[in-house]
Amino acid sequence: MRAKRVSLFRRGAGEAIAATIAFAVLSLAIAYIILGAVPRLSIAPSTASGAVLGGVEQLVVIQREMEVGSNRTIVIEVLNAGSAPVRIDAVLVTVGGTPLLVRLGSKSICNSTQPGVLVPRSSTIIICSRADYKPVGIVTQGGKVFVVNPRIEALFEKPTGIPMKTLYGGVTVTSTSSLLRLLYNKTIVYSGAINTTIPMKLLLNKSSEYVNAQLSASLVVVGLNPVNGKLNILIIGNATSGNSITVGNDAVDLSRAGALRYRLKIENFTGVIQIGSSPAGPGIYPCLINTGKSCRVTISSSEPADIIRLYTNTTTLTPQAVGLDPYIFVGDIDGDGNTETIFVTQDFTTGNSGSVNDVNKRFNRVALDSSLKPVRLILSTVNGSQYSAAVLSIRFFYWDNSIDDISDNDNRVIVRAGLLDTATGEVRYSVALSYYELCRYRHPPFSISYVTKDFMIYIPSENKEFQVFIELADPYSNTGNRNDADILIGLSYIGMSLVSR
């Protein structure tokens, strides 16, 4: 009798196991039929869950297409969105329309990028080595079945995103001359870019010369040229007694020539630059802006610098237009390997809605600068027949000298990105950052705080080339005590992702 009972038990267990397997296969077959009823549809997660000892078992299964070797392959990504660790025993695949259970492992036709237990909030990708095996779901050791949940979104018909391409970053530019190739309007470097209340003239323009100077400065920018390890320098201020500069055989007493204002620009400098008694490395030194006192700057070159340009004030009292060159700086200011392009109209002091922002207090002369033409950089070209949209990711920092922010200035556009019609120069689409938005990223006293913003740009469906651009502008000129901000904005990185049409 005992032997008979054992025999019956074994037979019953075998039948139960067979029924369980049949039910599992039938369930998987039904899942496959459901999936097969909507071919080429996918990409929505399955979130079925069940309570297990130690937490809730909940997996999300997403179907993807990815590069495996030299081929595009259908894979599934499995995310543990529950609170319990899960071991994935098998992956459901189809071959010739037949649902199969396949163990995962290095010797199997299907493997996991993260074998073993899948802990909460981790993920793995299931890849099958044979092209005729398509993963559509998984089975856990606890017996739960999770499959891709088809939705109305076509995997192969959806727009394909192209990985981000660097348009500006690293050593895209290393000097003002290399920035020229990106400028849409190259003539503004020398004239017609900035309207200023203290006009400047180019007093010295030298190349391959030694330079030595003793200066009083309100703002100093020092950056590295990552290509050769030399320094680019921009010094802004108004000269006092004893200030001088010697370039080669030319010596200039700045106490008169730059009493109202000067801007000194040096590129590929080798030697020593000191602020006070300390050597100055890459960075921005706000001096007068933060402390109310000018810096004492000493420069002594050990090798000839490539470019030395000295801009000094004129005796003209009426506003005039000048070129962009003294307002633009190129150099790596933070040692991250990216050469920033910095547009700076700031000279001296801060202000509020009851006072003028930028003033030479020694002579009580207002030093306000505003853009006549924007600094527009052409970054790339795209064809409207191939791409429907572009996403520009822009890393930058911003500062202006208005203490009162929006009480002091109206909301005007400062940064704009978009598309130009290559043939006509017409702006076909653009998005912008205005002053009120940018005020969120700066706080007096001066400090650098990088921000990354994404710009979605829609591309017209036309079989023609469009130029991708970014432009910077100072839209503020004096109207009483308001709308008189001067700005400092630095571009660090620009990347672009395209969406296929």
Tell me, what's the pLDDT at 11? 38
Q: Tell me, what amino acid is at 58?
A: Q
Residue 141 phi, psi dihedral angles, 5° rounding = -60, -25
Instruction: From 369, 365, 367, select the one nearest 343 (Cα to Cα).
Output: 369
Q: Are 331 and 232 in contact (CB under 8 A)?
A: yes
Q: Are 462 and 472 in contact (CB under 8 A)?
A: no
| One pLDDT digit (tens) per residue for the chain, 501 residues | 333 333 333 334 444 444 444 444 444 444 443 334 333 333 333 444 444 445 677 888 887 777 666 667 778 888 887 778 888 876 666 666 677 777 787 777 888 887 778 888 788 888 887 777 778 888 887 778 888 765 423 333 444 556 788 999 999 999 999 999 999 999 999 999 999 999 999 999 999 999 999 999 999 999 999 999 999 999 999 999 999 999 999 999 999 899 999 999 999 999 999 999 999 999 999 998 888 889 999 999 999 999 999 999 998 888 899 999 999 999 999 988 899 999 999 998 888 888 888 888 889 898 899 999 999 999 999 999 999 999 999 999 999 988 888 888 999 999 999 999 999 999 999 999 999 999 988 877 788 889 999 999 999 999 999 999 999 999 998 767 889 899 999 999 999 998 888
3-state SS of 141-178 is CCCCEEECCCCCCECCCCCCEEEEEEEECCCCCCCHHH
What is the C-alpha to C-alpha distance for residues 501 and 463, in angstroms, rounded to an integer?
Answer: 12
Q: Are 64 and 73 in contact (CB under 8 A)?
A: no
- Indicate the helix (H) or strand (E) that contains 291: helix 288-291
What is the C-alpha to C-alpha distance for residues 205 and 201, in angstroms, rounded to an integer?
Answer: 11
Dihedral sign for Cα atoms in the order 351, 357, 359, 365: negative
DSSP 36-59: HHSTTB----B--EEEETTEEEEE
Q: Are 81 and 59 in contact (CB under 8 A)?
A: yes
Q: Are 285 and 275 in contact (CB under 8 A)?
A: yes
Tell me, what's the pLDDT at 183? 97
What is the C-alpha to C-alpha distance for residues 487 and 328, in angstroms, rounded to an integer?
Answer: 12
Q: Are 134 and 93 in contact (CB under 8 A)?
A: yes
Quickly count: other Cβ atoms within 10 Å of residue 364's Cβ.
8
Structure tokens belonging to residue 19: 């029924």
Q: E strands of 23-103, at which residues?
A: 49-52, 55-68, 71-80, 86-95, 98-103
- Indicate the helix (H) or strand (E) that contains 69: none
SS3 414: strand
- Nearest 5 degrees, angle CA 360-CA 199-CA 221? 65
DSSP 318-382: S-EEE-SGGGEEEEBSSSSS--EEEEE---S--B-TTS-SSEETTTTEE--EEESS-EEEEEEEE
Tell me, what's the pLDDT at 92? 67
- Nearest 5 degrees, angle CA 235-CA 241-CA 245? 45
Q: Are 456 and 463 in contact (CB under 8 A)?
A: no
Q: Tell me, what amino acid is at 320?
A: Q
Residue 178 phi, psi dihedral angles, 5° rounding = -75, -25
Q: Which residue has the tokens 């299964």?
A: 61
Q: Report whether the peptide linkage leading into residue 286 is cis, meaning its omega lies within 30 degrees of zero.
A: no
